[in-house]
Amino acid sequence: MKDSRRSFLRKSAFATAAAIAAPGIARAGVKKDDDDIQTGQFKLKYAPSIGMFRASAGDDPIDNIKFCHDQGFRAVFDNGLMGRSVDVQERIAYELDLLDMDFGPFVLYADFSITSFVTDDPEKRKMLINRMKEGVDVAKRTNSKWALVVPGRYDEKLHWDYQTANVIENIKFCAEILEPAGLTMVLEPLNTLKNHPGLFLTGIPQSYMICRAVNNPYVKIVNDLYHQQITEGNLIPNIEAAWDEIGAFHLGDNPGRKEPTSGEINYKNIFKYIHERGFKGVLCMEHGKTEGGKEGDQKVINAYRHCDSF
């Protein structure tokens, strides 16, 4: 009964939305100059964080999701999903299902303070496996398909190759928990120069090698372009080289980690490349805003309209 009711509500919502949005959608299909602001649904699944547009949508997560949908976004993400109450998790899942929106990766494990994946310590492996089981429970309630993992700090007292071997083995154990639930782990390499010194996983080539060694379709990479602009640059060639192992993207300009067009990254060219490759996944807008209030919200939306007008 629950699935039938959701299907009926979704169809009704789509019919109403189509009648209202048809003129905007038609305009969005018209070729315009690069600087023109488009309307309607975006070409790619850019995903605001729940709460990014709080100044415009208020504090309620459901109102935030509705606002994002109204602006043309067809995905959202929520790093703090595991910390929300069961009731809120279920409400989020219901609204996303109703609006046919995707849910980007939630943070399953990201402890920057300890060595974890790099060790062969049985107690730490047990901790990681238990954490994966908690993530599976959240994923089942929220229909989530992607969970983000940061493998933690490196060990200064252990040779790097041994650490890499331990990371591969620990990921294999964790993937065995996630795979039956249809939950894909996405590994996130982070920069150590500006934000996260001391972490083990830092680059796309390193992450690619680990994914190939694990050899499980439920283990992929989330390519955070802000972090990788700092760590290695060469963004499009690295996307191309690692394409088969990339499951999702994180977005943010550099310097400043604000919306696209605020820094040095040519996001319009990157989005064009990703779109031409046929990417159907989520691109999480994991960044701040250069301005506050409703004006800042609109500036972010306009930046994505500009970069999506390739």
Q: Is residue 228 part of a domain?
A: yes
- Residue type at 136 in one-letter notation: V
Cα gap 125→115, rounded to integer Å: 11
Q: Residue 161: name the closest of 110, 120, 118 by CA.
A: 118
- Residue type at 43 in one-letter notation: K
Known active-site residue 259: no
pLDDT of 91 reads: 98
Q: Is residue 34 part of a domain?
A: no
pLDDT for 5 beyond 70: no
pLDDT of 38 reads: 59
Known active-site residue 188: yes
Q: Is residue 21 part of a domain?
A: no
Annotated catalytic residue within 95, 188, 245, 259: 188
Chain segment 37-89, per-residue pLDDT in tens: 557 999 999 999 999 999 999 999 999 999 999 999 999 999 999 999 999 99
pLDDT for 228 beyond 50: yes
The number of domains in the chain is 1
CA distances, 107 to each of 24, 147, 150, 305 (Å): 35, 6, 9, 27
pLDDT of 18 reads: 45
Q: Is residue 205 part of a domain?
A: yes
Annotated catalytic residue within 95, 245, 259, 286: 286
Rounded mean pLDDT, 211-237: 98
pLDDT for 285 beyond 90: yes
Query: What are the helix (H) ranges across 100-216?
Result: 122-142, 160-178, 204-214
pLDDT tier at 304 (50, 70, 90 boundaries)?
Answer: very high
Contact 304, 261 (CB under 8 A): no
pLDDT of 164 reads: 98
Q: Is residue 246 part of a domain?
A: yes
Q: Is residue 7 part of a domain?
A: no
pLDDT of 20 reads: 41
Q: When comparing pLDDT for 252 and 31, which is higher?
A: 252
CATH code (residue 74): 3.20.20.150
pLDDT for 235 beyond 90: yes
SS3 letters across 178-224: HHHHCCEEEECCCCCCCCCCCECCCCHHHHHHHHHHHCCCCEEEEEE
Omega before residue 255 within 30° of 0, cis: yes
Rounded mean pLDDT, 268-295: 98
Q: Is residue 294 part of a domain?
A: yes
186 strand-pairing partners: 148, 220
Q: Is residue 179 part of a domain?
A: yes
Residue % of the chain over a pLDDT of 90: 87
Cα gap 289→263, rounded to integer Å: 12
Chain segment 120-165, per-residue pLDDT in tens: 999 999 999 999 999 999 999 999 999 999 999 999 999 999 999 9
Longest dimension (CA), the chain: 63
Rounded mean pLDDT, 174-183: 98
Q: The domain containing residue 271 runs over which residues?
A: 41-307
